[in-house]
Amino acid sequence: MPIARNHFEVLGFAPTYFIDRAELEARYREGQRHSHPDRFSRAPASERAQVLQRATDLNDAYRVLKSDLRRAEYLLALRGIDLSEEAEQAGGKKRTLDSLFLSDVLELREELQESRLRRDDAAITRIAAEIRSRMAQENGRIEAGFSRLGSTAAGDAAVLDGLADALLKLRYYQRFLDDISAHEEATA
């Protein structure tokens, strides 16, 4: 069985957080230009199946590498730190977030709930902006963490732990934002 290539290999990048967006776009387009199934609509079924797989790999790799959050999670997964809920359920190490963060988010949730009841759109917008600014902060931590990888005397363990922590927080915030926009959509 052929070994599946990881998302970085599919698009010809070294496994790093720092990826040039324009270069990513260019490589993706070039890849699709050569392996999109539409280019092989007349090919034999076996060849088409291969092409379909290649195009699927390209799209899936692009989706992960394009997003800062997904790319960071994927890099940690490549280093054996699986942050997916599935891994947690399968008995993986449960990572806990500090209680200060949790109580803080809980407070924001309550504020959101009250603003909704009051139909206070301005307050909801303010909460969303607050979440975004915190996400920017965590993104900064992530960027700094990835640039320190492999360069600290103490080894990468502490840096990776910090990255995992920042990613889990980001995910929390992202869900919070999704919740706000889902609610907006439903009530629009």
Interface residues toward other proteins, by CB under 8 A: 29, 32-33, 36-42, 52, 55-56, 59-60, 62-63, 86, 181, 185, 188
CB of 166 to other proteins, least distance (A): 22
Q: Indicate the residue among 20 and 161 with the shorter CB distance to other proteins.
A: 20
| Class of residue 166 by CB neighbours under 10 A (exposed 0-12, middle 13-18, buried 19+) | buried
CB of 66 to other proteins, least distance (A): 10
Q: Indicate the residue among 43 and 102 with the shorter CB distance to other proteins.
A: 43
What is the Cα–Cα distance from 7 to 41, expressed in whole angstroms? 26
Helix H or strand E encompassing 132: helix 121-148
What is the Cα–Cα distance from 135 to 174, expressed in whole angstroms? 8
Tokens of 180: 């706000």
Q: Indicate the residue among 87 and 149 with the shorter CB distance to other proteins.
A: 87
CB of 102 to other proteins, least distance (A): 23
Contact (CB, 8 A) for 37 and 52 = yes
Q: Indicate the residue among 33 and 94 with the shorter CB distance to other proteins.
A: 33
What is the Cα–Cα distance from 81 to 159, expressed in whole angstroms? 12
CB of 39 to other proteins, least distance (A): 6
